[in-house]
Chain A
Amino acid sequence: MPLNILIVDDSAVMRSMILKSLRMADLDIEAAHQATNGLEGLSILNAHPIDIDIVIVDINMPVMNGEEMIQRMKENEKTKNIPILVISTEGSQIRKEALRRQGVAFIHKPFSPEQIRDTMNAMVGRT
């Protein structure tokens, strides 16, 4: 089944790179919503909570960062079970372990299309 995804990153170039990687990885994407920060991302999720299959989110963003967005998603009954993939430069093991404890997948920048494909397939049970 084609995936509906939400990409949340303040860099338009990085959002394009993620989209390009998804296409190169032959992932079947029906719709790719985009947001430039966590607040915009939550707004899109509130408008389409059931439609979004995976949220791809950066950590360092202005207005609302990725950690706060994830926290708010986990507190909301409608969004708490949506799979989340963090794509970030975050290098701290402490932060990465905290994210993993919340069930969040993590890919380090720079990344390859294969990493995204394998991680997303695992997240939606297509291994």
Chain B
Amino acid sequence: MTDQIAEAKETIYQVAEDVLEKLAFLFSFREEERGPMDYGSAVVASVSFTGQFKGRLLMAVSSEMLPELAANMLGIEEETSPEEQRDALKELINVICGNLLPEIAGRKQLFNVNTPRILPSGEIEAIISDKNPAATAKLALEEGQCDLILYLDDAGPGVSLEPETPEP
């Protein structure tokens, strides 16, 4: 694994931990050693971006964590609707991505972050099987898990992130 990938992964961890704590009042813990989540039992949001480099960030959260996550963000104790839960996850990935890109590329770079969306399960499998991610961060939440997966389509000049290769 290159130093650049390690730095990107560390940056994803730092940004995600900070945003989860400040926006959703959730403490997270790194789970570097575990394998990927079961994305079939997770809700996965995706946000694409263009700029110095382009790609997309995926955020998978255990389905059972979403009600608490949304309630924390809304500051309510009542049950949240599925729409509110999906909206909360989309806002989380939007804030994480918006904070992540300048940390990786520098604050003088311009990025356009597109509107986040929730991925249907068929699309998740297609993305994951299609290419290797540039970096993956795996977190444990209070009663669930969260994976953040960064894909880069085209690393531009000055960006030396390389695809992560699976461990043998």
A→B interface (CB under 8 Å): 10-14, 16-17, 20, 60-62, 88-95, 109-110, 112
Q: How far is the CA of A112 from the CA of B18 in the complex (A)?
A: 13
- Interface class of chain A by DSSP: loop
Cβ contact within 8 Å between A12 and B87: yes
Cβ contact within 8 Å between A109 and B95: yes
Q: How far is the CA of A61 from the CA of B116 in the complex (A)?
A: 10
- Complex partner residue of B115 from A10, A12, A14, A17, CB under 8 angstroms: A10
Cβ contact within 8 Å between A11 and B87: yes
Taking the complex as formed, is B23 at the interface, i.e. its CB lies under 8 A from any CB of chain A?
yes
- Complex partner residue of B94 from A11, A20, A92, CB under 8 angstroms: A11
B residues near A14, Cβ cutoff 8 Å: 91
A residues near B61, Cβ cutoff 8 Å: none
Cβ contact within 8 Å between B98 and A110: no
Taking the complex as formed, is B111 at the interface, i.e. its CB lies under 8 A from any CB of chain A?
yes
Sample 19 A-B pairs with CB under 8 A, ordered by A number.
Answer: A10-B115, A11-B87, A11-B91, A12-B84, A13-B87, A16-B73, A17-B23, A60-B113, A88-B98, A90-B98, A91-B98, A91-B111, A92-B102, A92-B109, A93-B107, A94-B110, A109-B95, A110-B19, A110-B95
Cβ contact within 8 Å between A89 and B97: yes
Q: How far is the CA of A90 from the CA of B18 in the complex (A)?
A: 16
Cβ contact within 8 Å between B75 and A20: yes
Cβ contact within 8 Å between B88 and A110: no
Most buried by A among B74, B98, B107: B98
Cβ contact within 8 Å between B113 and A13: no
Cβ contact within 8 Å between A13 and B22: no
Cβ contact within 8 Å between A20 and B74: yes
Task: Please name the residue on chain B nearest to A88 by beta carbon.
Answer: B98
Task: Please name the residue on chain A nearest to B18 by beta carbon.
Answer: A110
Cβ contact within 8 Å between B102 and A110: no
A residues near B111, Cβ cutoff 8 Å: 91-92
8 nearest A-B pairs in the assembled complex, by CB-CB distance? A89-B98, A91-B102, A110-B22, A110-B23, A11-B91, A13-B87, A20-B75, A93-B107
Tell me, rounded to whole Å, the shortest Cβ–Cβ distance linking B103 to chain A. 8
Tell me, rounded to whole Å, the shortest Cβ–Cβ distance linking B26 to chain A. 12
Cβ contact within 8 Å between A89 and B94: yes
A residues near B109, Cβ cutoff 8 Å: 92
Taking the complex as formed, is B148 at the interface, i.e. its CB lies under 8 A from any CB of chain A?
no
Cβ contact within 8 Å between B75 and A109: no
